[in-house]
């Protein structure tokens, strides 16, 4: 089968959960013997690169932003035209999947709908409020959703939001995870009580500041506890650190991982990984942590409860509640004395391994 995956951005230019998912999907499909093309943009130059899996990444150079105010064509929307240019010279495919509304808009603008159409895998929780003051984004989203033959959501929560706010139905297909990437020995330091958070502090939805406020409450009960933040960039954590007093700042470390291998090692070093987000569509970092053998704490908001469904591998806390979050973190630190904990977490994570999720992706086209 010849498969086309489109995405506005990709590694190495953007390193987020969606970009990681699309790359891993391309690699898994190529490993199953399919011919896979990943079409995306690059800020520097157009080119094609073969991935180690055999999948082909086609980069099309993106243009400059134009316009002003509400009608500004920003970094996201300006990827539509380059992807459209790339589509016009790639030929036909047996299956096509878009991963954001700018590339889905480009797909609908071609003859693809008359040749079987495209699937649209929505990367988050669709909300009308996200389009306030952004009429071009709203128009592209509506055009992209309306032309898709099938909509895919990351979680039941995201699918429910799409139906409630836009009136569309979606099939739930969570992202896959290469769980083997997180295998490896875990440090055996009984005094280490490392709390890990790989979320971006400058994203208001991630609520990293709530975790920081919970840290003193945890330290009253676990004096050796420290917090390790692993944001995607140094710049994303500057504002948060500047707001802290010196005493609290002393118990917070920052490490920007420069590779997936380093990120996996950080998960394995931690005693608990925390994602204090609101309205999270899924929570990929929680599955990654579990794959590394580390229990997790998340909020009772969004799609997170669909992952943390067993107290043997993690805890849920009330959203925006530092005291409840501190209680959940302490409970997970207490799980550290269980010698079977790491294997239990890893076993739980395998339900999202590509060997489980990948076949579901392929089965979508089966009658």
The arithmetic mean of pLDDT across residues 157-163, rounded, is 98
Residue 40 pLDDT grade (very low, low, confident, very high; cuts 50, 70, 90): very high
pLDDT score for 191: 60
pLDDT score for 80: 92
The arithmetic mean of pLDDT across residues 141-157, rounded, is 96
Name the average pLDDT for the chain. 92
pLDDT score for 181: 93
Say if residue 179's pLDDT is above 80: yes
- Measured between alpha carbons, how far is 336 from 332 in angstroms, rounded to an integer? 7
Range of lowest pLDDT (47-61, 76-90, 104-118, 347-361):
104-118
Residue 166 pLDDT grade (very low, low, confident, very high; cuts 50, 70, 90): very high
83 touches 60 (CB < 8 A): yes
Q: HSE of 274 in the Cβ direction (CA atoms, 13 Å)?
A: 34
pLDDT score for 186: 87
Residue 17 pLDDT grade (very low, low, confident, very high; cuts 50, 70, 90): confident
pLDDT score for 108: 94
Residue 326 pLDDT grade (very low, low, confident, very high; cuts 50, 70, 90): very high
- Measured between alpha carbons, how far is 221 from 213 in angstroms, rounded to an integer? 15
The arithmetic mean of pLDDT across residues 293-308, rounded, is 97
> The dihedral of CA 109, 112, 116, 119: what is its sign?
negative
Alpha helices in 167-234 (DSSP H): 208-221
pLDDT score for 201: 94
- Measured between alpha carbons, how far is 320 from 207 in angstroms, rounded to an integer? 7
Tokens of 138: 């709203």
Alpha-carbon distances of 270 from 8, 12, 332, 364, rounded to whole Å: 33, 26, 11, 37
Strand 119-121 vs strand 296-299: parallel, antiparallel, or unpaired? unpaired
Tell me if residue 209 falls in helix, strand or coil: helix
- Measured between alpha carbons, how far is 298 from 317 in angstroms, rounded to an integer? 6
Domains, the chain, in order of start with CATH, read 2-173 (3.40.50.2000), 179-351 (3.40.50.2000)
| Cα-Cα end-to-end distance for the chain | 17
The arithmetic mean of pLDDT across residues 157-174, rounded, is 97
> If you search the block for the tokens 């692993």, which residue do you land on?
230
> If you search the block for the tokens 């420290």, which residue do you land on?
226
């Amino acid at each position: 089968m010849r498969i086309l995956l489109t995405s506005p951005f990709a590694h190495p230019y953007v390193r987020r959960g969606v970009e990681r998912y699309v790359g891993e999907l391309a690699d898994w499909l190529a490993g199953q013997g399919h011919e896979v093309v990943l079409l995306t943009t690059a800020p520097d130059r157009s080119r094609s690169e073969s991935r180690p899996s055999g999948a082909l990444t086609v980069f099309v150079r993106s243009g400059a932003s134009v316009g002003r105010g509400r009608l500004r064509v920003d970094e996201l929307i300006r990827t539509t035209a380059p992807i459209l240019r790339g589509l016009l010279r790639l030929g036909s495919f047996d299956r096509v999947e878009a991963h954001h509304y700018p590339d889905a808009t480009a797909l609908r603008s071609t003859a693809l709908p008359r040749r079987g159409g495209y699937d649209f895998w929505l990367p988050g929780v669709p909300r009308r409020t996200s389009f306030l003051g952004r009429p071009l984004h709203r128009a592209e989203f509506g055009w992209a959703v309306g032309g898709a033959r099938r909509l895919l959501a990351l979680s039941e929560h995201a699918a429910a939001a799409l139906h409630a706010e836009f009136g569309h139905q979606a099939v739930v297909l969570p992202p896959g995870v290469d769980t083997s990437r997180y295998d490896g020995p875990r440090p055996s330091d009984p005094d280490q009580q490392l709390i890990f958070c790989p979320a971006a502090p400058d994203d208001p939805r991630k609520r990293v500041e709530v975790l920081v406020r919970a840290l003193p409450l945890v330290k009253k009960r676990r004096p050796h506890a420290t917090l390790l933040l692993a944001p995607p960039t140094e710049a994303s954590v500057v504002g948060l650190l500047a707001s802290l007093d010196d005493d609290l700042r002393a118990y917070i470390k920052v490490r920007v991982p420069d590779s997936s291998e380093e990120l996996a090692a950080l998960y394995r070093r931690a005693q608990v990984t925390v994602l204090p987000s609101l309205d999270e569509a899924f929570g990929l970092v929680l599955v990654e942590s579990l794959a590394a053998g580390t229990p997790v704490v998340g909020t009772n908001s969004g799609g997170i409860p669909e992952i943390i469904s067993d107290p043997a591998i993690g805890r849920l806390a009330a959203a925006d509640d530092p005291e409840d979050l501190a209680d959940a973190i302490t409970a997970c630190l207490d799980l550290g004395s269980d010698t079977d904990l790491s294997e239990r977490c890893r076993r739980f994570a395998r339900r999202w391994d590509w060997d489980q999720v990948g076949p579901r992706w392929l089965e979508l086209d089966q009658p």
